[in-house]
Amino acid sequence: MKTMLVATAALAAAFSLPALGQSQPEIGTRARAILDVDGLQFRDANGNGNLDPYEDWRLPVADRVSDLLERMSIEERAGMLLIDTLNAGCAGTTEGTRAEEMIAEQHMTRFILRNTIAAKAQTCDGRPSRSGFDVTARQMAAFANAVQELAEAQPSGIPVLFKDNARNHRESDPRFGIGGGAGAMTAFPKELGIAAAVLGTESMAPVEALTQVTAAEWRALGLRGMYGYMADLATEPRWHRVHETFGEDSDTVADIMEALVLGLQGGPVDPESAVALTMKHFPGGGPQEQGLDPHYSFGQRQVYPSGAFAAHLAPFQRAIDAGLGAIMPYYGVPVDLTHEGETFDEVGFSFSAQTVNGLLRDRLGFQGYVNSDTGIIQSRAWGFADATVPERVALAINSGNDVLSGFSDVGEILDLVEAGLIDEARVTEAAGRLLTEQFALGLFENPYVDEDAAGDIVAASDHLALAAQVHRESIVLLQNDNLLPLAQGAQIYVLNADAGMAAEAGFKVTQGTADDGRSSAADHDAAVIRVYVRNTGTGDYRSNDPEWGANPEHLNPRTGEVWGGEDNCNVTPDLNASCADDGQIGGPGSPALGLLFGGALPWEADALSFTTMAEAQSWDIFPPLPVIREVMNEVGAQRTIIAIDFRNPYVIDAESGLRDAGALLATFGAVDDALFDVLSGQFAPVGRLPFALPDNLGAVIENASDAPGYAAEDTLFPFAHGLSY
């Protein structure tokens, strides 16, 4: 145990360690007694009637962790290394869930909680989505408390930590495991919109508003950990996760990462921290070859043709220096990567001790814990297609991952310890890092939340007001040929935006539609068109289907083979019963869901211009491009206002005709009322682009995946561009 005492003490850089003499914290218990000692109260976590060191909140966290580790069985310590989805049952109950089995049998204390918060609960006769039943804020809080009560009754009384991806953003295309959107929670613009507002206001006030609201709402629900935020740089325009980033500029993203740590954790994690962050995807998930994502076998390669690896590390370093508690490596495989004289092995980052221990811990000085990305064991063990599940578990843990996401079989770890393939000391080390966070957050004193207060805190009026201001600040005016601001009382034709909000802004409004019977935009002072783009039609993709991944008409230009050829189910079918790209999130025998995590069909990833997207199978522009052109012809291009919601740096190509509009705006999840505030002049636009917009599709395809922007002659609008009036 001497080594563990040293290891846990070293975590002081990532977690604030309370000292003797601190004031009495609130004690919350449902399954254990409260101990009264020296006029102070403590939770009797193990129920033995004595105040043991790990129950004594006056002691430093490192001492409490060491004491508890000595008392825990190997089963309890191994269970700490697991985290998997545990959604609330209908109406926020534990009925029909795995809660009891995961806690009592798998000894788990960490869960991903994905239920959407709704104003009205889903009825119990309906079918839950992959994210579980929709529940109210009160029901979510009640579920969190019920699970905490189950955990409190276990031998050591270790409290649960619930985590999820970022929630408080307006999401136009929710995806399981990526971003489900805010539901009834306060919704800010997307992360790109936060960056646009930061650049425009030249301050971190938009981030501070986001963290203030997120801190209050998550804590009220019992969510004390976040799989976020993404510190990745949007240097590869085709990558379908660009919309979750804060843009292409390393310095801007680093500033925002620091502000997020300070706003949500308050620096190193301590009992006052609202949400402990797990930033991702180390060492930067932006440079995806061909813009393809490593959730899929065909997107597993990360490339650095311009040698800009250090720029992708910088945001993580800033977050670490600010006190970041946890980091998540990505699935990707670095190709031909050399950094500071060291060449990196071409295996998934999560399986690379060179990356996790050498680069992250030894070079960058990170002392928190490492949380693997979800599904690295069964589905996305890139570089280890020929390894068995037990071998992958051993590789991941021995490479430096302290907790395996999407894995919930404690027996697998115990068997590996018994076989000598994982040292018990390594399990103890990982468990100590994880316990440190639970102690530092104050969960051992009170893991419970006020169920009645949750509904009042979520989407409170002051929260909505803060978000509304950031929505306005996030809107970027790209071009304006003296069309904006529109005069009060102007007669406008509105397509794909809320006519009621336009009327509230002072306009006379005709609501247009995209169907065959729509009214004409002629004889209006202006037309306002909101344009959204999403990927669709990929749910039937299968790696081995001759119409999809095995279609000889669609070959990967890098390999010359069909796109499904690199899926582990085809590389070593005897070891990989299910295909990763088929979207079988429940493993063999579960329904196949296709390209579940988003993105276009791989052979259409290059189709980033409006003209090519309009012709592609897996891209959807709404309103459709022909309808947009019709409206422009009816009202006149110079009297057309087009607001494009950017999830990627789409190419506004000349052939599309969109450049001819009298005004172009960029939004990043902004709501309609914020847009009309800008169009009416009630709010002068301040937002600035968080990434450059390319002039032509060739610039996108030839872009160096690790470098921001394009050559001057290939740039339509540069980074940080934005007009006002």
In tens, the pLDDT along 649-672 reads: 999 999 999 999 999 999 999 999
Bridge partners for 188 per DSSP? 169
- Residue-level pLDDT at 128: 82
- Residue-level pLDDT at 478: 99
> What's the residue count for the chain?
725
- Residue-level pLDDT at 575: 93
- Residue-level pLDDT at 188: 98
Give the amino acid at 723. Answer: L
Span 209-230, average pLDDT: 99
Q: Which domains does the chain have, with CATH numbers?
A: 11-456 (3.20.20.300), 469-536+604-717 (3.40.50.1700)
For residue 151, the 8-state DSSP code is H
Number of Cβ atoms within 10 Å of the Cβ of 554: 16
Pairing of strands 333-335, 404-405: unpaired
In tens, the pLDDT along 331-371 reads: 999 999 999 999 999 999 999 999 999 999 999 999 999 99
In 3-state terms, what secondary structure has residue 165? strand
R_g of the chain, CA atoms, integer Å: 26
Q: Is 56 a catalytic site residue?
A: no
Q: Which residue has the tokens 């969960």?
A: 443
> CB within 8 A of 402, min separation 6: which ones?
81, 369, 370, 371, 429, 430, 433, 434
Give the amino acid at 312. Answer: H
- DSSP assignment of 70-81 equals HHS-HHHHHHTT
In tens, the pLDDT along 136-145 reads: 999 999 999 9
Instruction: Please state, in angstroms and rounded to a whole number, the distance separating the CA atoms of residues 432 and 190.
Output: 35
- The answer, yes or no, to whether residue 535 has pLDDT greater than 90, is yes
Cβ-count burial 697-715 (b if 16+ within 10 Å, e if not): bebbeebbbbbbbbeeebb
Lowest mean pLDDT among 97-111, 461-475, 586-600: 586-600
In 3-state terms, what secondary structure has residue 84? strand
Instruction: Please state, in angstroms and rounded to a whole number, the distance separating the CA atoms of residues 142 and 124.
Output: 16
**Phi then psi for 468, rounded to 5 degrees?**
-60, -40
Instruction: Please state, in angstroms and rounded to a whole number, the distance separating the CA atoms of residues 161 and 443.
Output: 8
- Residue-level pLDDT at 7: 46
The secondary structure element, H or E, covering residue 398 is helix 389-398
Query: Are residues 85 and 110 in contact, defined by beta-carbon separation less than 8 angstroms?
Result: no
Backbone torsion region of residue 560, taken as left when φ is above 0, otherwise alpha when ψ lies between -120 and 50, otherwise beta: left
Bridge partners for 388 per DSSP? none
Cis amide prior to 296 (ω within 30 degrees): no
- Residue-level pLDDT at 16: 54
Query: Are residues 323 and 589 in contact, defined by beta-carbon separation less than 8 angstroms?
Result: no
- C-alpha torsion angle, residues 19, 23, 26, 27 (rounded to 10): 60
Query: Are residues 264 and 273 in contact, defined by beta-carbon separation less than 8 angstroms?
Result: yes
Mean residue pLDDT across the chain: 96
In tens, the pLDDT along 5-43 reads: 334 445 544 565 555 557 999 999 999 999 999 999 999
Three-state SS annotation for 175-210: ECCCECCCCCCCCECCHHHHHHHHHHHCCCHHHHHH
| Distances in whole angstroms, Cα of residue 234 to Cα of each of 157, 245, 247, 581, 650 | 43, 6, 5, 23, 13
In 3-state terms, what secondary structure has residue 449? coil
Structure tokens at 362: 């030894």
Instruction: Please state, in angstroms and rounded to a whole number, the distance separating the CA atoms of residues 300 and 296.
Output: 7
| Distances in whole angstroms, Cα of residue 8 to Cα of each of 127, 324, 368, 413 | 44, 16, 10, 22
Span 683-707, average pLDDT: 98
- The answer, yes or no, to whether residue 577 has pLDDT greater than 70, is yes
- Residue-level pLDDT at 131: 84
User: Quick one: what percent of the chain has pLDDT higher than 90?
Assistant: 92
- The answer, yes or no, to whether residue 374 has pLDDT greater than 70, is yes
pTM of this structure: 0.96
- The answer, yes or no, to whether residue 463 has pLDDT greater than 90, is yes
Nearest partner of 486 among 683, 687, 197, judged by Cα: 683
Catalytically annotated residue among 63, 164, 173, 373: 373
- Residue-level pLDDT at 517: 85
Span 684-697, average pLDDT: 99
- DSSP assignment of 6-71 equals HHHHGGGGTB----TTPPPPP---SSSPEEEETTEEEE-TT-SSS--GGG-TTS-HHHHHHHHHHH
> CB within 8 A of 202, min separation 6: which ones?
none
In tens, the pLDDT along 583-604 reads: 987 767 788 999 999 999 999 9
Span 500-514, average pLDDT: 96
- Residue-level pLDDT at 191: 99
- Residue-level pLDDT at 587: 66
Pairing of strands 161-165, 110-112: parallel
In tens, the pLDDT along 143-175 reads: 999 999 999 999 999 999 999 999 999 999 988
Nearest partner of 376 among 439, 328, 344, judged by Cα: 328
- Residue-level pLDDT at 2: 32
More confidently predicted of 12 and 329? 329
How close are the terminal C-alpha atoms of the chain, in Å? Answer: 66
Number of Cβ atoms within 10 Å of the Cβ of 37: 12
In tens, the pLDDT along 489-503 reads: 999 999 999 999 999
Span 381-407, average pLDDT: 97
Longest Cα separation, the chain: 82
3 band by pLDDT with thresholds 50, 70 and 90: very low
Query: Are residues 592 and 584 in contact, defined by beta-carbon separation less than 8 angstroms?
Result: yes
For residue 580, the 8-state DSSP code is G
Instruction: Please state, in angstroms and rounded to a whole number, the distance separating the CA atoms of residues 269 and 324.
Output: 8
Query: Are residues 531 and 496 in contact, defined by beta-carbon separation less than 8 angstroms?
Result: yes
- Residue-level pLDDT at 241: 98
Structure tokens at 541: 């993709």
For residue 563, the 8-state DSSP code is G
Q: Name all contacts of 356-359 with Cβ < 8 Å and 24+ positions apart.
A: 356/282, 356/329, 356/399, 356/400, 356/401, 357/399, 357/400, 359/283
Cis amide prior to 159 (ω within 30 degrees): no
In tens, the pLDDT along 246-258 reads: 999 999 999 999 9
In tens, the pLDDT along 291-301 reads: 999 999 999 99
Distance of CA 631 to the CA centre of its chain: 37
